[in-house]
Structure 1
């Protein structure tokens, strides 16, 4: 009884599966047919669009060719056009009218086709095509627009071009009957069984259709564009055409599915006994086989990844280590030598961060292929880190070795086109010899790292041979980095503040936060000596957070104790300004200390400002959205700067110290400072003079209504504690 029940279950399942599969494959066939029909309709519409463009290009060519003949013919131009007009009407049957207008858009010549109605006016200065001709006087090709007053039918178009006539500039205008053009074009190009409607701004212009029954379900829409004119074309098949497009596949699938279902029921009944006997053993075999395949695949993959990079499939650091151990042993025994090239992609972290890791992976794969193509036969290459490759080649003279490094560098130089991005990359290359390392693998790799670090210090595209002093420089750099880490942790790095003074009111209206590092030995280190190193190591984020947190807290305390309108100015580098975390850091601490955004100024120099406006405009917009003021320190007035100020407007201009130092004694510099002050005042921007060192400079600025100044003459940078008394009393301008 149980056996019969299992047989019934099995046969029921086979029958149900056969029916489901038949229906499923039938639907798939129907879907495929519908997709094929849609693709065919789309291809036909594309062909129609292409042919339509060709037709209008022919009309545009006729316009340009005729205008060229008129320009060459001089005074006989209109007589020549009168002779050629009939030929144009015959060759271009949709051509309705030919006109020649003078420079005031009044008619000098007119010929019309037989069916064309007469024009109601002879002056066309207010037509759409006249506006386009005025706006593009030097455009060498025919321009197109809606006909307007050139035709009684608003859907018609005109093609026009300017040319030099014997009496001055003139315009050749060809009026095209758009309905007749569409009718001629579609009747010549359309396949039998298709229906078409062309519309302009939602209103039908031409229709070649007998029934809209299938339009909603099968219509293919495509824009028809020429110059600034745009129509929409809808194409759909007739019922007979659609029937012809369908095949007999669905009926075949149903028939075959039914037969296979019956066959399956028969086979299921015949195989029941055998299935019961073999089922257990087959399951065991299948499971064992599957597990073995998975194990072998995993083992092979793990073995490969242990020595190779998953992205480029080049040897990784482990594979390089194995290769170098064998290579070193051979070189030691034979007293031979070989060369190692440590090749690092410049600023790859910025590329990866800006474009995303998938784009960064694609860059790495393409660059690895370029490097491999540049290598000589027998060279070895490995990828040892995210942006670093190691190349090993036979040793040769210094000139040949440098030439190989140049070859690697030049292979990277051409731009990469990935999706919509055009990407330029460069590499820095460090070169070391095995013999100089004492045939020790770790020493050789470290020497290569020292050389490539030295190459990076030269800027992009650096190539450097390892020298013993590089090791000392590398160790000094590592020691400096460790000192900076300890300085951040032990509060050796702090902020001093310099007042920004209002000369007329003799009071401090703002303070600028200036970074200072005082080492345990008492040495005071300026930011320019350690800021770049912090940017390279990632310490810049911790430093930036410290600057924002401590300066915002100090400003909140000063506002609470002395002046609630006191402002804070912070000078940030390009790396700090482009940190994605910067807006959120500012927003967080501004909210935490309850500061008004208008009382915070972010200052950067002219070069950083131009680069931000060119490549990081979104960063400036994000900072402005926070409500903070943007302050630029400028050294002069250039077209690039004025253009940037126009499209990326700041709030404050600072006159650079080198300009203030030369006023009022240097005439040219004095004129330049006066120009900057006038520009700021005309643009209603605040202007601040920096590094005022004497009374004469202060008087000069005050006479020109530059009342905000900063410099040692008024107050030196001081700690927050020492600066407090200056915030409570007027500034002495004669100190």
Structure 2
């Protein structure tokens, strides 16, 4: 009983509070609307006042121009006429203070003043603001305006002047306007009672028609009054009495209506509470049972759905794909009908996922799934089978049809994705296999499609490949090489070679570049391009990166201690390595362990990797630079994309690509490219290093263009640790024979 009363009291209190809040909000809305209407009215009044002000000054300007044209026809006669009609002009234009005719030296040849105006003391007015304007355009057809200066007593007064001439020298008709009286006449004739006005110039009040500033800060409307080059600021606001008269009774009506509605709501709330108590007792058991039953059904349906579908995209998962394939393959075998599957893999998705985070990675997958579904033909089946892979099943055995569909899928993935503040580009590799080549067996057709996908990835991004029997052999060889790489890492078959970076002018070695080598048990030596891609596609990349950093840092510390001089070491990194979340921590750990300065380590990557980092992974570049380590980019030319990237993520060093140095200086185009890269580096105050220098002619060419750092077999080849240590211990000259070092 007590609980029921408390619920009733709480409900009534809620209704009362809600009614009061809504009433106040409604009143506030009405009040806000009326405030806007009042502000609009004030703005309209100031606009009309501005128009009247311009009309008044235009009449003064017209009178100036008309009188000047009359004087130009017969100056002597018209001057006499002007002297006779001056009083009429002063009467018709009450703000007119003085009429002057000035000769070309701005000396008055005619002067009339309104009643009560003092006589001007100056005899010539060449230093007034209007004089400088008239001197520039003496016979301008329209009247010119400026501050009066010494032509009037008050500094804020203005003059209107027009030139005329029927002789060799121009004369100027000048009308001096009492701006204070002009404003006063205008305000008193145009402003409604209850308004207050202030007009200022250069933040100084020159006219004021106001008794109090009480409402000025809240209601003042400011509008510029412009005429020619003169400008004033008009401030208009109402008095308290005028503002009260401008409000209507709407606010009070809203408050009264809100109170009545609140009382009605309280009554209805009390009645509804009584009815609700009667219904609750009867419906409670039914409601509870219904909720339990519904929850049970929802849970069962969700579990059943998730057993065959991907939770992120709600596409069929691998289980759903296998069920579908078993049914479709059986029917296709019985009816001898075609069936093909496409395995679609998002290139480098794991790197994107590591670099941007799993939330953004999930959003990428959902959007790409929607894009692929839009281009699929009617009747096609799609499933998500792994983190970055989709499988499409179609009923076509025509290569051209399937190739066209694969191209459509690939193009649908290509456009950039805008997620949060990231602009992301993706690509897809696609492997295609036919059921007939797999004897209509589920495992075989999936294996064949994976083999085709592997071949497609060998083509680089955007690869599309159909399955053929030779791909099984390639996949087998890949697995064998992967196993051999694992053993090589465990048995320390990986080695680091070092190629010196030579200072050409000083004939000295100032740094080394780290180069990874794999020496097999039979003595065969492989360079990274033979196994780097395989490492990046597996978890070996982290272990090998750890080995490179550890070994290179230890060796550099040993050389610096032995040589008692500073050396730098350059380490090449791929996009996969650069996007490893552990990279900054790994670099810092081994650098500090070897007690090396951050400037002695240089991180090097290709131009394509650099552009992709600056486009999609700017944070990675900033993290590396915050570690204090130098960033080096291998460039093949000066493009707009490169310049844009350098602008936002400037490196420390530019390396000229070997393919440019190889044809330099004999080929014109590579030579121009090399020179442009050198100029760019010098202009941006970056170091520049030439790679693959193979002859003395290239050395001379580089020195002539002040490129003093170079690498190449002609200078010193890539050497193992012991041979490079021996080279560092002896005097070095550019002309020495490289083979003797080996």
**Secondary structure in 2 matching 1:118:** strand
Q: Is the 8 A contact 2:423 2:616 kept in 1?
A: no
Distance 1:419 1:514 in 2: 39
Cα drift, residue 534 of structure 1: 2.4
Structure 2: stretches of 5+ with no match in the other structure:
49-132, 149-155, 158-182, 184-189, 191-197, 222-236, 238-242, 738-742
Cα drift, residue 416 of structure 1: 5.8
Distance 1:357 1:39 in 2: 47
**Secondary structure in 1 matching 2:390:** strand
Cα drift, residue 526 of structure 1: 0.7
Structure 1 residue 21 and structure 2 residue 17: aligned? no
CA distance 1:110–1:473, change in 2 (3 Å): farther
Distance 1:252 1:651 in 2: 76
Residues 418-473 of structure 1: CA deviation (Å, up to 9, x unaligned): 67777665443322222221121111122222223323333444332221112222
Q: Is the 8 A contact 1:18 1:260 kept in 2?
A: no
Aligned to 2:530: 529
**Secondary structure in 1 matching 2:521:** coil
Aligned to 2:515: 514
Structure 1 residue 255 and structure 2 residue 255: aligned? no
Map 1:170-181; keep pairs closer than 5 Å.
none
Map 1:554-569; keep pairs closer than 5 Å.
554-569=555-570
Aligned to 1:734: 736
Aligned to 2:496: 495
Cα drift, residue 478 of structure 1: 3.0
May I ask how many residue pairs the two structures share in their alignment? Answer: 594
Residues 619-654 of structure 1: CA deviation (Å, up to 9, x unaligned): 444433332223344455667656765665443344
Residues 675-730 of structure 1: CA deviation (Å, up to 9, x unaligned): 76566556554443433445665566567665444333444323334433333332
Distance 2:532 2:351 in 1: 17
**Secondary structure in 2 matching 1:313:** coil
Q: Is the 8 A contact 2:12 2:270 kept in 1?
A: no
Q: Is the 8 A contact 2:355 2:617 kept in 1?
A: no
Aligned to 1:141: none
**Secondary structure in 1 matching 2:548:** helix
Aligned to 1:118: 145
Distance 1:317 1:586 in 2: 39
Residues 125-180 of structure 1: CA deviation (Å, up to 9, x unaligned): xxxxxxxxxxxxxxxxxxxxxxxxxxx99xxxxxxxxxxxxxxxxxxxxxxxxxx9
Cα drift, residue 565 of structure 1: 1.5
Cα drift, residue 107 of structure 1: 9.3
**Secondary structure in 2 matching 1:482:** helix
Cα drift, residue 601 of structure 1: 1.9
Distance 2:658 2:520 in 1: 27
Residues 290-310 of structure 1: CA deviation (Å, up to 9, x unaligned): 443332221111011111222
Q: Is the 8 A contact 2:351 2:580 kept in 1?
A: no
Distance 2:138 2:610 in 1: 55
CA distance 1:415–1:243, change in 2 (3 Å): same
Distance 1:650 1:722 in 2: 31
Cα drift, residue 333 of structure 1: 3.3
**Secondary structure in 1 matching 2:385:** strand
Distance 2:493 2:380 in 1: 49
Structure 1 residue 598 and structure 2 residue 599: aligned? yes
CA distance 1:520–1:110, change in 2 (3 Å): farther
Aligned to 2:467: 466
CA distance 1:107–1:478, change in 2 (3 Å): farther
Distance 2:655 2:633 in 1: 6
Structure 1 residue 377 and structure 2 residue 404: aligned? no
Distance 2:265 2:526 in 1: 85
Distance 1:306 1:31 in 2: 54
Q: Is the 8 A contact 1:714 1:731 kept in 2?
A: no
CA distance 1:241–1:625, change in 2 (3 Å): farther
Q: Is the 8 A contact 1:431 1:465 kept in 2?
A: yes
Q: What is the root-mean-square deviation of aligned Cα atoms in Å?
A: 5.5
Distance 2:490 2:253 in 1: 77
TM-score with structure 1 setting the length:
0.65
Cα drift, residue 566 of structure 1: 1.9
Aligned to 1:310: 311
TM-score with structure 2 setting the length:
0.64
**Secondary structure in 1 matching 2:146:** coil
Aligned to 1:710: 711
Distance 1:620 1:416 in 2: 21
Cα drift, residue 530 of structure 1: 1.8
Aligned to 2:440: 439
Residues 233-270 of structure 1: CA deviation (Å, up to 9, x unaligned): x9x997647716846664245424543565588789x9
Distance 2:534 2:36 in 1: 59
Q: Is the 8 A contact 2:20 2:262 kept in 1?
A: no
Q: Is the 8 A contact 2:329 2:440 kept in 1?
A: yes
**Secondary structure in 2 matching 1:385:** coil
